[in-house]
Amino acid sequence: MKFKNIKEFIMDLVKPGIGLLFWMLLSFGIVLFILRKYAWGPILNALRDREDSIDEALRSAEKAREEMSKLKADNEKILAGAKKEREKIIGEARQIREKMIGDAKKEATSEARKQIDQAKREIQSQKVAAIEEIKKQIADISVEIAGKILQENISVDEKQQKLIEKDLDRIKFN
């Protein structure tokens, strides 16, 4: 092919032949058919799957956000309940402590009264024993005085009176 000028050459390039056009359309159609059957289907399916997985991930994130807010609300309720329970337990512990202190005071008071009563009884018994001892000593002294009176055979009342007073003075000092 010889071209006379460039214009013809360019025109030949711009005007394709019918055979070339047919084969180009046929090869384009085959490539289009092959791409559609083997490439576009899997590509579109992959894009749909990707879109579905993204939607699922967004739904899961929304559910997780809702669950987190529910958990947060539940945690706040549990915390409030725990605070109430703690206050209740502390109040009960205070009551128990006060009751124990009151019981201990009552028991101590009761024990002190028992010890005081025991001490009073002991003092009373010692007092009675001391009085009995004094009575015994007085009886012994009286017998002794009577013996002395009889030994001396004092006939005068005045001498007896002085002797008794003397012995009584001696007893008072002992």
pLDDT digits (tens), the chain, 174 positions: 565 778 777 777 777 678 878 888 999 999 999 988 888 888 888 899 999 999 999 999 999 999 999 999 999 999 999 999 999 999 999 999 999 999 999 999 999 999 999 999 999 999 999 988 988 888 888 888 877 777 665 555 677 777 777 877 777 655
Q: Which residues contact 45 (CB under 8 A, 6 or more apart)?
A: none
Q: Which residue has the tokens 């993204």?
A: 54
pLDDT at 152: 65
What's residue 139's pLDDT?
81
Q: Where along the chain do its domains lie?
A: 6-173
pLDDT of residue 1: 54
Quote the tokens at residue 121. 């009884």
Residue 166: predicted pLDDT: 80
- Cβ neighbors of 141 (< 8 A, separation 6 or more) are 167, 171
Query: Alpha-carbon distance 170 to 174, whole Å?
Result: 7
Helices and strands (H and E) in the chain: how many: 4, 0
> What is the Cα–Cα distance from 165 to 109, expressed in whole angstroms?
51
pLDDT recorded at residue 168: 76
Query: Quick one: tokens of 105?
Result: 């005071």
